[in-house]
Amino acid sequence: MSLERPIDPDPYTLLPKADEFTVTSVDVANGEPMSIKHAYDGMGAGGDDVSPQLSWRDFPEETRSFVVTCFDPDAPIPGGFWHWVLVDLPSSVTELATNAGNRSGGGIPAGSFHVPNDMGERAFGGAAPPPNDRPHRYYFVVHAVDIEKLGVDDNTSPAVVSFTLAFHTLARAMIVPTYAH
């Protein structure tokens, strides 16, 4: 079976416009392949599920909290694939350390929480594109939010978090590395 298909657009161009701010990482870079340590540790991907370090700055003054997500629009399914959704980070937090999104939950700031990714895990789920598929893009996005609590719980789907963000996002910062298996 061939996985040949059109390349989806940047998914964030399909949303209401938001201001931009800056996110950087010592682990990943725009348009550059990620290390295998950021790949999934299952499905034969051979990785370690290590979330990348992220730092952000120059967000709007009125920011009350942040949401951090990782989305793969190139997954061969309708609607893409959510690898990470971390909700309700306090506005005083401007960095996540390498592997903050681990399954123990010990690396995330107090008051924040994961919702299940599309693998069903409350953690960062690493890259796992099908073998021999083209490189996938992984949109690591920090959303500056206008309220302290998004009003979702740890059973909320990534789609509902994303929908809720459409009404509360002040600005976005993104870094988009790639990965191929």
Q: What per-residue confidence (pLDDT) applies to 42?
A: 79
Question: Which helix H or strand E contains 66, and what residues bound it?
Answer: strand 65-72
Place of tokens 């599309």: 118
Q: What per-residue confidence (pLDDT) applies to 130?
A: 93
Domains, the chain, in order of start with CATH, read 15-179 (3.90.280.10)
Rounded to 5°, the CA angle 160-163-165 comes to 110
pLDDT digits (tens, 9 = 90+) for 3-51: 999 998 999 999 999 999 999 999 999 999 999 999 998 776 788 999 9
Instruction: State if pTM tops 0.95.
Output: yes
**Average pLDDT of the segment spanning 51-75:** 99
CA distance 109 to 132: 37
Question: Which residues pair with residue 120 across a beta bridge?
Answer: none
Extended strands (E) in 77-130: 81-90, 95-96, 113-114
pLDDT digits (tens, 9 = 90+) for 72-128: 999 999 999 999 999 999 999 999 999 999 999 899 999 999 999 999 999 999 999
Q: What per-residue confidence (pLDDT) applies to 8?
A: 87
Q: Which residues of 158-177 are buried (b: 16+ CB within 10 A; e: fewer)?
A: beebbebbeebbbbbbbbbb
Q: What per-residue confidence (pLDDT) applies to 81?
A: 98
**Average pLDDT of the segment spanning 159-177:** 98
Q: What per-residue confidence (pLDDT) applies to 76?
A: 94
Q: Which residues contact 157 (CB under 8 A, 6 or more apart)?
A: 115, 116
Q: What per-residue confidence (pLDDT) applies to 12?
A: 97
